[in-house]
Amino acid sequence: MIPTQAPKLQISESADYKERYSNSVQVRVNLWDFFLMFGTISQTVPDTVNITNFQGVYLSPQQAKALANLLNQNIAQYEGTFGEIRLEPAGGAGPIQ
């Protein structure tokens, strides 16, 4: 007989858990996994943009697709509440790619 009750989910943070802001995510893909590299973008002079990467995370293709689904659901809810998220930077220099 198959159990009808889902197992309890326990979530905890490791001793080295941190939260950081990221305005840059780079993605690399190969046959076995997706690699997300998080960083921050800064520009102190007009002709140079600096990206400082601080964390890389590997995901299985299945987990990457689950993350994409969760992000799409949450973006739709956000836009339903606060309006469309536009991908142009504040300075109007062109769309973010």
**Alpha carbon distance 90, 69 (integer Å):** 27
Query: Percentage of the chain surpassing pLDDT 70?
Result: 88
**pTM of the full structure:** 0.76
Give the whole-number percent of the chain exceeding pLDDT 90.
81
Write the pLDDT tens digit of every residue in 30-46: 999 999 999 999 999 99
Which residue pairs, CB below 8 angstroms and at least 24 apart, start in 31-37?
32/60, 32/61, 33/58, 33/59, 33/60, 33/61, 33/64, 34/58, 34/59, 34/60, 34/61, 34/64, 35/59
The string of pLDDT tens digits covering residues 10-27 is: 999 999 999 999 999 999
3-state DSSP call for residue 1? coil
Looking at every residue in the chain, the average pLDDT score rounds to 91
